[in-house]
Amino acid sequence: MQAGHRTQPRKGPNFPERSAIKARQSGHRISFDTIWGYTVVYPLLMADLKTTQERVHSWTQAVFENDLLGPTSLKERGSRFIEEAIELAQALDFSREEIIRVVDWVLSRPKGSAPQEVSGTLVTLLSLCNLLGIDASAELDQELARIETPEVMARIRNRQSEKNKILGLTGPTRP
């Protein structure tokens, strides 16, 4: 099955066991958990996630080191995250009105803490990937391989500079 290919919801007897066998055959360490009466199989990704985060940090440094905002701009990285989340919602056929309704609801609530919101974002994204039948790990590997090529890095660097101007992100805004 190709990465990102949608599949039918995974149901039926022995699904957790079949998932565990498949994960182990792929070389993943796995763990079981029970959430609301459902058995969930998931790879133990923490070491891989840390390594991937370091890899992304190195890439960000290389691509944006000469950018006026630099690779550590909180406003620029935050804006990029919002952009990607909206693009994902758009890919899932959410309307502008539905997206704005969510934005309004979120901004009407008290501000959360960044670490808790990061963990909630990761859990929610992985849950959405499960629902869609998307292998998040494979998609991430594929995307990192794509964006690490010199021609794509140059294209991203140029495009981001233009986006920063359009979004009014100018000058250093480091955390």
**Number of structural domains the chain divides into:** 1
3 lies in some domain: no
50 lies in some domain: no
pLDDT tens for each residue of the chain, 175 residues long: 444 444 444 444 445 455 555 555 555 554 444 445 454 544 545 557 888 888 888 888 888 776 655 556 788 788 889 999 999 999 999 999 999 999 999 999 999 999 999 999 999 999 999 999 999 988 998 999 899 898 998 888 888 777 777 777 765 444 4
Range of the domain at 89: 66-166
77 lies in some domain: yes
45 lies in some domain: no
pLDDT at 99: 96
Interatomic CA distance for residues 28 and 31, integer angstroms: 10
pLDDT at 69: 54
pLDDT at 173: 43
36 lies in some domain: no
Interatomic CA distance for residues 18 and 10, integer angstroms: 10
51 lies in some domain: no
Interatomic CA distance for residues 124 and 175, integer angstroms: 25
40 lies in some domain: no
39 lies in some domain: no
